[in-house]
């Protein structure tokens, strides 16, 4: 892909995200590096109002420091019954240094504290035949931003993955809110999918597909 100089730096230290980018971008002949390869780069403040703002802020900051092509993503979970929260605060929903388990626990607590609505909670049957409780419709959102030194305008693309929030965790794969995010078409949580399945369906995968379409024109 001539529009993306090799190697490309992914502006994250999240090992789970790096794995997903390696699996997807490696097929295109792109060598993937991450901020784990550049420990001197400090954390970039994510103070934008939207996922797109944050992705561009991170990509620009790292590209300026390294003088390399940088892809940054900002992604998160938007829950209907919480009016779109945690949104851009997904990684720090339970505090600045919150763990995945703490964020998941707060999400469940917030949903369980809500006054019942006629449509919630709902039930469904999982692929393994067990019944699951669904607390709200939700979606994962990802915005990718590519900044190439010498080019003024970043390239951005958005992807979404629709699903529901489970009443309790399922699966031990993935990261973040994956154990609570249920895909009704598969009867599984995101954490129960193989890496290949997740890469095919995830919000990050959808954003990357749109992103590659944009930079190939």
Which amino acids are annotated as binding site, given as ranges? 12-17, 74-75, 175-178, 198, 203-204
The one catalytic residue among 47, 53, 74, 100? 74
Map residue 140 onto helix, strand or coil: strand
DSSP letter at 186? T
Sign of CA dihedral 151, 87, 100, 19: negative
Annotated binding site for Mg(2+): 74
Annotated binding site for substrate: 12-17, 75, 175-178, 198, 203-204
Residue 180: which residues within 8 A CB-CB, separation 6 or more? 104, 107, 108, 165, 166, 168, 169, 170, 189
Q: How far is CA 127 from the centre of its chain?
A: 24
Map residue 15 onto helix, strand or coil: helix
To the query of whether residue 74 is one of the catalytic residues in this protein, the response is yes
Give Dmax (Cα) for the chain: 55
Catalytic residues: 74
């Amino acid at each position: 892909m001539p529009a993306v100089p090799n190697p490309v730096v992914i502006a994250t230290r999240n090992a789970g995200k790096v794995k997903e980018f390696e699996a997807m971008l490696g097929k295109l002949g792109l060598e993937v590096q991450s901020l784990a390869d550049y420990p001197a780069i400090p954390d970039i403040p994510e103070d934008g109002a939207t996922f797109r703002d944050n992705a561009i802020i991170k990509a620009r900051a790292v590209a300026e420091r390294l003088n390399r092509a940088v892809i940054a993503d900002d992604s998160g979970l938007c829950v209907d019954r919480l009016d779109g929260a945690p949104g851009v605060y997904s990684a720090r929903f339970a505090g600045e240094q919150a763990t995945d388990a703490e964020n998941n626990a707060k999400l469940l607590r917030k949903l369980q504290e809500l006054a019942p609505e006629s449509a919630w909670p709902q039930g469904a049957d999982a692929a393994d035949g067990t019944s699951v409780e669904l607390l709200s419709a939700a979606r994962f959102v990802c915005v990718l931003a590519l900044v190439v030194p010498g080019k003024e305008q970043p390239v951005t693309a958005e992807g979404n993955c629709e699903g529901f929030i489970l009443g309790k965790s399922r699966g031990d794969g993935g990261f973040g809110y994956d154990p609570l995010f249920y895909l009704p078409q598969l009867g599984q949580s995101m954490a129960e999918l193989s890496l290949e399945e997740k890469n095919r369906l995830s919000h990050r995968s959808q954003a990357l597909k749109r992103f590659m379409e944009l930079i190939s024109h």
